[in-house]
Structure 1
Amino acid sequence: MTRLIEPVRTAPLATAPGRAGSRVAWTFVLLTALAVGAYSAVPYFTVSLRELAGDDVGLAPTYAETSPFVQAALYVHIAGSAVALVLGALQFWRGLRTRAPKVHRWLGRIYLAGVAVGAVGGLIIAPSSPAGYVGFFGFSALAVLWLATAWRAYRAIRRRDIAGHQAWMIRNYALTYAGVMLRVWLPLLLLAPLLLGLPWEFDEAFANAYAAVPFLCWLPNLVFAEWLIRRRGLPSYRLPLARA
């Protein structure tokens, strides 16, 4: 039976971008991960959810009146996602992998645990998303793919498939980085009507912007991740050619 997708190896690792460019890109990812992790997570663990809702901070107004179970899932999601966002960036630090492989492995275990609890928490809070059905389907799909790619990365390293592990970790962290891209796309979409010379009203503009980010925050990330995987010569996927 013909498979829907089949692995393909592309150009050798020698075609990867220069080390200087890679270091700049990695530094940017790490700094944005630290900034967003601190900005989005710290307030929830320093002030009560009801107080944050009164100040109209983040998701607090949406979840302040939900059940204790959903609120607990929100905190689990925030904590797990913040841990994964920061530690995931460190996992791509070449020096850490080569000079301290044990630290790399332990950080990887903590990262995967963060992904697991963050994704499960995300699935629980998705039905209450302020983006309605789009938020439910977009964020639920993100959580499921987040779990699936983490599992594939774990299975690959257990089989000592280093190249496969690296490819799945790139895909997985591209989904983790949705936490950053959501906060990049939201203000851009919010200001888009002003740039286009259209009538602008904050509540309407915010609702329209937030209706797009549940998918926009992670789909382009996966496309870029697959391009990066092929560029680095890691196991990628492609649709097979039609066969007689």
Structure 2
Amino acid sequence: MEVPTQHEPVSARTPLQRAFPRIAWLVLAVVTVEFLLITWRKYSHLDAGAYGMFWSRREWLWMHIGGGALGILLGPLQWLTQWRRTRPQVHRSIGRVYLLAMLVACAGAAGLIATSPADLAFRIAFAATALAWLATAFVGFTAIRARRQQTHQRWMVRNYLITLSPITFRAMLRIPGVMELAPPPVMIPVLLWLSWVLPLVVHEIIVRGIDVARRSRRVESGGGDGLDAESA
């Protein structure tokens, strides 16, 4: 979800490079809508059978799902619009609501973890996801407070990838044979970890590759070594 910067004009990109983000966002939109509809259908009716082990803790579940769903929906507004340039106040307001929704979701996650009868491995994996979510948001928030816009943008991309981890987790569950690799008490925590670690690793590989290509072009054009103080 890397976006062009002042060092990479949109006109310099190939048609495939320009089309890929649109295709990726379209796929994400379809998968997200499906995920939200499934979640709504499952939990919109107060039924102990549908809630299962969450019935006695449904308030925590509502906080977690509600905050997370709002974050999922608000994220694209920050990336697909030009509001950060044309309407910075709107961009900042949406960002504050996004962070508030994330805090609500994390509070719900904390309540679910504290009351969960699940194995320790599951609770640790769930807690690690929430901590990574909070940590990336904190770095992104402090970066924009220091007016380091590129650093802020990169850390909020990382944060949004973690926001999408429930969708990634569900997608991994659908991989044929994946749950046959190990018993559920083992495989579920592994998939919880992979649902956010794997996207972050892929993202870092892509970003570092883009940075190397940009620096090479700058050196070749005589623009210096291309080192960027905000390349974190």
- Normalised to the residue count of structure 2, the TM-score between the two structures is 0.75
Q: CA deviation at 1:236?
A: 4.7
Counterpart amino acid of residue 64 in structure 2: H
Of 210, 220, 223, the residue aligned with 2:188 is 210
Contact 2:150 2:231 in 1 (8 A): no
Classify the secondary structure of the residue corresponding to 1:217.
helix
Contact 1:41 1:82 in 2 (8 A): no
Partner of 1:159: 146
Deviations 1:189-211 (A, max 9, x none): 6x3477x9xxxxxxx96555424
| Residues 142 and 193 (structure 1), Cα distance of their counterparts in 2 relative to 1, 3 Å cut | closer
Q: CA deviation at 1:138?
A: 0.7
Q: CA deviation at 1:119?
A: 1.5
Contact 2:140 2:156 in 1 (8 A): yes
Partner of 1:87: 74
Root mean square deviation of aligned Cα: 2.8
**What 5-or-longer segments of structure 1 have no aligned partner?**
1-11, 197-203, 238-244
Partner of 1:170: 157
Deviations 1:198-242 (A, max 9, x none): xxxxxx9655542432212111011123224334548455xxxxx
| Residues 87 and 24 (structure 1), Cα distance of their counterparts in 2 relative to 1, 3 Å cut | same
| Residues 39 and 96 (structure 1), Cα distance of their counterparts in 2 relative to 1, 3 Å cut | farther
Of 132, 136, 142, the residue aligned with 1:145 is 132
Larger RCO of the pair (alpha carbons < 8 Å, separation 6+):
1
Contact 2:125 2:189 in 1 (8 A): no
Q: Structure 1: how far apart are the matches of 2:27 and 2:210?
A: 19
Q: Structure 2: how far apart are the matches of 1:231 and 1:85?
A: 27
Identity %: 30
Of 83, 86, 92, the residue aligned with 1:105 is 92
Q: Structure 2: how far apart are the matches of 1:117 and 1:186?
A: 26
Contact 1:81 1:114 in 2 (8 A): yes
Q: CA deviation at 1:62?
A: 1.3
Q: Structure 1: how far apart are the matches of 2:152 and 2:24?
A: 21
